[in-house]
């Protein structure tokens, strides 16, 4: 199951740099994860300083 970024995202970009498949990009005021690209590795969730990423 793909990971998702919730509304507590502070748009710091730390998650985007650790995604091994390039599934994370800037959306409307926060980063978003493309569920078709996400391989559910969890690297982004471990990197998020505010805990805005969880398995969806």
Which residue ranges make up each domain of the chain? 3-55
As assigned by CATH, the class of the 3-55 domain is alpha beta
* Span 8-53, pLDDT tens digits: 999 999 999 999 999 999 999 999 999 999 999 999 999 999 999 9
Q: Bin 26: left if φ > 0, else alpha if -120 < ψ < 50, else beta.
A: beta
Tell me the pTM.
0.92
- CA 12/CA 30 separation, integer angstroms: 9
Strands 31-33 and 24-26 turn out to be: antiparallel
Taking residue 22's Cβ as centre, other Cβ atoms within 10 Å add up to: 9
């Amino acid at each position: 199951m793909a990971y998702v970024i919730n509304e507590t995202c502070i748009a710091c970009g730390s998650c985007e740099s650790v995604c091994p498949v390039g599934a994370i990009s800037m959306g409307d005021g926060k980063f978003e994860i493309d569920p078709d690209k996400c391989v559910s590795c969890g690297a982004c969730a471990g990197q998020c300083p505010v805990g805005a990423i969880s398995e969806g």
